[in-house]
Structures are given as C-alpha cells and as structure tokens.
Chains A and B, each alone.
Chain A
Amino acid sequence: MEALYVYCVGMLTFCGVFLCLRARLFPVVLGLTMLSYAVNLFLFSSGGLTFNAAAILGASETYSDPLPQALVLTAIVIGFAMIAFIVILAMRARADLGNDYVDGREPPDTEQAISPKRGNL
C-alpha cells in the first residue's frame, strides 16, 4: 500500500509542478489544484498508514493518529478557498489584460515577432 500511495503522491506532485510551469493561467490553476491534492494526501500519510484503525479511542482495536486528519481537513478548506480565488482572479485577468498568459502578455517569440521579417505572404 505504501508504494502505491507514494507513487500517487509523487505523480500528482510531478503533474502539479509541470502544470504550474506553463505559460497560460488555465494549466497553472489546474497545476495548483493538483499540488494541493498531492499535499493533502502527503499530510494524511504523515501520521502513518494503517488498516482498520479508527481515529477514536475504543472504536477499534488499534487507533490511528487523529491530528493529520484534522490538518488535512483544514488544508482542504483553505486550499479550496484559494483555488476559488485564483479561478476568479484568472477570469478577471483574462478580462483586464485581454489574454490568459500568466505574464499578462504574449511571449515575444510567437507569430507577431516573426511575421514582420517574413513579410506578407
């Protein structure tokens, strides 16, 4: 189970980081979402992974650490609010700046930079 768990967290983090490095806001927002999923899973595992263990004393034979669950809950709520904020901000940026690049302008090496040299074909 540990190996699968580690693989999932690693994969989510990898995808999150990759998407965060994109130039447009939509992939970046997706990347931040994935990073927050990854971090939630990671936090959850910080108390140790166990089968059949309740977080309440006496409810099962063994018990699991309840604190990571509380931490994850807080992190989920905060992450949710932050993602909501950045989605709205991305829409506002699209409206204000006229494009959805993170830098607010198109990168210089696109069509516009090349076309004057080519001339009108």
Chain B
Amino acid sequence: MSALLRVENLHKRFGALVVTDGVSLDVMPGRIHAVIGPNGAGKTTLIHQIFGTLAPDAGVIRLDGRDITRLAPHRRAQAGLARSFQITSVLPEFSALENVALAVQARAGSSFRFFRAARGQAGLNAPAMAVLERVGLRARAGMVAGSLSHGEKRQLELAMALAAKPRVMLLDEPLAGAGPEETARLVTLLGSLRDACAIVLVEHDMDAVFQLADEITVLAQGRVIAHGTPGAIREDAAVRTAYLGEDF
C-alpha cells in the first residue's frame, strides 16, 4: 500500500529559528495519523506547510503521487485536502446548512454562477444535509452558526471539511476547548471518519490521541523524534523524556 499523503524532508526556518527540520511522514489511506509533540515543536507550522498557507524552504509534499508543494491553498483543497482550524473557524452569519452548502459548492467548483438563487438548490442542500446528519447537527441546520455552542461549531467545522469529500483531512486540535461530553462525542465522530478519508490529527489530548490514532509521529524542536504505533510510542524512552512524562 502506498502513502496517500507523503511529506518528504521538509525544511522551514524563520530567521535563525528552525521550525521544521527535515520532517518526513507518510499518511496511509483510511488511517488516522496523529502528530504530537510539546508546544513549539512545529506541529501547526507543519499543517500550514502541508496545506500551503506557508511555503517550505525545501522538501516535497505529494498527494497521491502528485507534487503539490507549490500549489495555492485553494488548489490543494480542490485536489483533495481539507483542513480544520485550531481556532474555531465557521462563517458566523450563515446558517449551519449554508456553511456546509458553501463547502459543497466549493467542491463542485461552481462559484462563478451569478443568476440562480443558491438558497433553494437541492444539489447543494441535499449533500449538505446528509453531512450535517452524519456529524449529528441535523437539528441545528437552520440555526445561525455564530449562535451554536463551542462543541457544535467544532462539529460544524468537521462537517464543512467532510462536505468537500477530501482524500486527506488535516485537523489542527479539533478538540481544543471542548468539554468532557463534547470531547467524547467528537472522538466517536472522528473515529467514524476513517472510512471517509485519511486524517492527519494534531492534538494535545493524549487520551484521545491514543484512542484514535493508527500511527503516531512525534515532533520535538521541528524534528521527528519517533514514529510508530500508539503501543510503540507509549514505550519509547525518547518520547517519554521529551513529551509524555514517566507516568503516562
């Protein structure tokens, strides 16, 4: 089986500060690949480079064999990458349904249509509704996104990412700020997404990471210090000193 998303020897520095130092990683289809590490390890910077909001100094990023290193973010999205944001990022004035319908519209590549009203289009609303159902937000479809609870906004973000039918989803701390109940619900939801696409998961909640991940890559100071199954990572001495701590 070959990797769906392949990051090869990525380098990025801001002045004297090396934030990504030769990172390589392979994301297999249908797998959840967690990226963990202490604060400042370069996890979010890595996500930015994979998605194209930051350009790497060196290295190659391939999606299903295709070199996407120099593509603009919206082109990468069209090629099959989707991302969620560390800070909740929905369109606050739109209803939940409109948020997802926009993602469907983006997927269809059809935003240069000027004359038919978008609101009533079944071609946008039906798939959007199906995705809302999947993330458990169907009952909230008509609500303005800005008035949803924090956990619901997180679910809505996932719905927007899912609606794009991505091949790889980049999730940057999808559980940040969620309460215990919301976390449990989101973890179940994330686990169920495996069959939809591969996932790169950056997350600080270690319980969730070890519950969800099929593979884990550990970053410290911009470098990969370990990679393996959750079981192997838990036992890795270098990881324990760098990040997890002795009593994990």
Q: Does A associate with B in a complex?
A: no
